[in-house]
Homo-oligomer: A and B are copies of this chain.
């Protein structure tokens, strides 16, 4: 049963890094090996591997080693869980806005411009 609370921590934490987001993005177009994924980054392999570990711990990717090559692929379920959480918040906020609008046309609505 959904113990999202803990997982959302690690999922959002994982997404908070540009290297890791780039890896996710890369993997959306298909599985890839570690070295292939690491190629765009000027980073030592062990450092890069830590990012892979964070993504895997967050449940955003899975990986399997065949021969000497470890192949990674995306596992979009947790990504969806994060999206769902955000969606719920914006929906609740929009609901409140709608209710507010039904009471008042303009509340001197200096708007929420940013």
User: Chain A, 26-51, contact with B by CB distance < 8 Å: what is the 0/1 string?
Assistant: 01111000000000000000000000
Interface, chain A (partner B; CB < 8 A) = 5, 8-10, 12-13, 15-18, 21, 24-25, 27-30, 59, 74-77, 79-80, 82-83, 85-87, 89-90, 92-93, 96, 112, 114
In the A-B complex, list the 7 residue pairs whose CB atoms are closest, starting with the nearest: A12-B16, A28-B92, A13-B16, A12-B15, A28-B93, A83-B86, A12-B12
B-side contacts of A25, CB under 8 Å: 89, 92
Q: Is the CB of B16 within 8 A of A9?
A: yes
B-side contacts of A18, CB under 8 Å: 5, 8-9
